[in-house]
Each structure stands twice: as structure tokens, then as C-alpha cells.
Amino acid sequence: MESQLGLIEQSFDLRYSGWVREALNELPDSFTITDPCISGHPIVFASNGFLKIFGYSKDEVIGRNGRMFQGPKTNRRSVMEIREAVREEKAIQISLLNYRKDGTPFWMLFHMCPVFSKEDGRVIHFLGVQVPIPRRPKRSVSTVVGNIGNLCENGARAREGMFRCCRREVCSDTVLELGRGSALDSVSSPDDREIDINEPCETSELEKQKANAAVSNVLSVLTHYSELTGKLVCGKRCCLSGTGLLGSSLNISLGRIKQSFVLSDPRLPDMPIVYASDTFLELTGYARHEVLGHNCRFLSGLDTDPATQFQIKEYIRTEQPCTVRILNYRKDRTPFWNLLHISPVRNASGKVAYFVGVQIDDSCKNQEEHGLSPQRRQLSVVGAVKVAVRSLSMGASSS
């Protein structure tokens, strides 16, 4: 858990200058920022406006997935549309029923968009803005008149009763037409109110404008504070070079695999690492930005056997799996014996898309985990990676 919190802090600290959180909290909007590169796609920032609307504290939200705000009446199709937008790394604006901490449901306009690295075009964050939608019961004035008439002794007194009710409760025909005011509530049944919660609320242009303005404000702050570190971000993908960029959906799928492994792209010069698991970072002591884009040879050192390195290169050249025992070095230069398994990962068309390397510290006394031998653990990781890559490529080819 501590390592996860460290990654969440790095998600901001390594990308933006130190004042970014204070600047974001000065914005009045409700929004969250999530990191698809961290296992579980957690929230790494939640605005004060968001915490106020949902009733949670910051500690209760940071590190959690946005699904915690869904409930029994949240539309599953809407959730799937959001997940699809994450997979395709595109923006989405959708009405969604969410739940506060005390369990009360409310409708909101949810606007989510990716935040790109200006350097290489990777999606580094997703920004989600929440704009509450006021309850607007879809009842005509004639329905209201009819309900009030049922409360009166006869039709002749219905009009008088309606005006008296309006004067006492809302004193405005305009409010009646908007579906607001307690005059409507006084004539609606519990069943009517339940329908209001279940049925999607219509989003007005005002709420759409609020969402767009909030997105623009947040992106402006992120852009400014990324310029101060030299690691610029932007709201649109500015760089399309590099076929090794992993999509957010694949990042999320790989993040569920709780073992030490890396993914390298043989289509790019020097076959750089394009994905590194959290467990790999813990094993080696490196931060993610120190690993991505580099060849695995940075783990080698003075006493690493050149013959073993050559053996690995040959297996990669012939696109064959292999298992070797090689002396590697952590960031602090302490050595460890790495039981390394390398295997090609093919896409749906049968071509090698990546090579996966699974590492096990061979110096650990207890090599068994959940009753599985190191070899079986490595093969299970390879299998899970292949499923994730093939599923994604099949989905892309069918879309």
C-alpha cells in the first residue's frame, strides 16, 4: 500500500511543479484526476469542490477507483461507455447517476478527457469533471392542474386551489414550468419521485458550458505547472511518433498482474521498455520514468555474464522463449540473481508485438507463492499478458 501511495505522489510530483495542488484547489469546480498507468487506475487528485459535493475526505478518495461513487441505480451502459472512452483514449460527456458518501443519489454531467504528454503523446492522466444536474421532473402543467383538482371538492374550486397553492408555495408560473418548487412535490406521489431518480436528467446548455469551462481551467493549470518542470502536458495528442505507445486500456489490464515484469517493443530502436509493473519497480528500486524508454541492459553491471546476455539476444532474434539466471543490479547497485523468463507476445494477427520479461529474485528463500513454483508463476504472467494484448488488438481490429 505504501508503494502505491508513493506512485500516486510521483504521478504529480514528477510531472508538475510543487504549487500545482494549491493552484488546482483554488478552482471552484468539482473534478478528479486519475492515472491509468498505476494499477487500478486510481484517483491521484480530487478537488475541494468534488469532496464537498460527494461528502468524502481526501484520504478516503485518493488511491481509489471512480467506481466507488457508483450504486445500484447507476446505469451499466453508461459505465461501459466511460470504460470504452478510456480504452480509446477519447473524451466523453455523459449524464450519470452517482452516490454521495451518505448514500443519496444525484444526477451529474460527467465530462472526462485524456491529458497527453506533449513529448511523446502518451496519455498520462484522465481529467473527470462533475457538474450536478438539478432535478427537473418531466410533468406538464396540465398534469399538475389535474392532480390539484383531485384534491378539491369539485372542478369549480380547482382553479382557486391551484392559485392558492402557487401563492403559498412558489408564487410563480415560471417556476411551475421549470418543474421546480414545492408545489410540484406536494402533488406528486412517492412513485413519481422514484421515477425522477431513475430516469436520466436532461442536461442543459448551461451545465455543458460549465463542464467545458472547468475542463479548460484545469488543463490551463496543468499546462502551466508542467512547463515549469519541462515535462509539458496538453489536452490534445501533439506527438504521434512511436508505435510503442501503450493505450490506457492495456495499461489498466497489465496493472492487474501483480508480478514483476516489463514489456519491450521490438519495433522500436533498441527495443525499449514500454511498460513496467509496480512490482518490478519495487524489486529494482527505479522510478517508472527512469525505466520507460530504456533497454533492459541498464540492469546489467560489472559482473553480469556476457555469455548470458548474448544468449538472451539470440532467443529474441529468433523470437523464441527462454529462461536464464542472470546477475542484475538494483538502482542502489546492490546485486541480485534474477531468474528471468523472456517470451514473445503476439497480437491477433500472429505478429510479435512485444517481448515480456518476468523477473524473480532467485536469492529469496521462499520461492513458492500461493503454492506455485517460480516457473509456473512466470508462465502465468506471460499468459495474462498475452490475453491482454490479444484482446486489445482483436477489439481494435473489429472497431
Full pLDDT tens readout for the chain, 399 residues: 556 677 788 888 888 888 999 999 999 999 999 998 888 899 999 999 999 999 999 999 999 999 999 999 999 999 999 988 888 788 999 999 999 999 999 999 999 999 988 877 788 899 999 999 987 655 544 444 445 445 444 444 444 444 444 333 333 333 333 333 333 333 333 343 444 566 667 788 999 999 999 999 999 999 999 988 888 888 887 654 444 567 777 888 898 898 999 999 998 888 999 999 999 999 999 988 888 888 999 999 999 999 999 999 999 999 999 999 999 999 999 999 999 999 999 987 788 999 999 999 987 756 556 567 888 999 999 999 999 888 775 554 444
What confidence score (pLDDT) does residue 255 get? 86
Tell me the three state secondary structure of residue 192.
helix
Specify the CATH number for 248-398; select among 3.10.20.740, 2.60.120.380, 3.40.250.10, 3.30.450.20: 3.30.450.20
Q: How many alpha carbons fall within 13 Å on the CB side of residue 87?
A: 16
What confidence score (pLDDT) does residue 370 get? 57
Residue 171 Rama label (left phi>0; alpha psi -120 to 50; beta): left
Q: Is 248-398 in the same CATH topology as 2-134+201-234?
A: yes
Report the predicted TM-score, pTM, of the whole model to 2 decimal places: 0.58
What confidence score (pLDDT) does residue 241 get? 45
What confidence score (pLDDT) does residue 245 get? 61
Q: Domain residue spans in the chain?
A: 2-134+201-234, 141-198, 248-398
Q: Are strands 233-234 and 123-132 parallel, antiparallel or unpaired?
A: unpaired
Q: How many Å apart are CA 162 and CA 181, to the nearest integer?
A: 14
- 2-134+201-234 placed in CATH 1.10.630.10: no
What confidence score (pLDDT) does residue 141 get? 45
Alpha helices for the chain (secondary structure H): 2-13, 20-25, 48-54, 58-61, 76-88, 141-151, 158-169, 173-178, 182-187, 190-198, 205-227, 248-255, 278-284, 306-317, 374-398
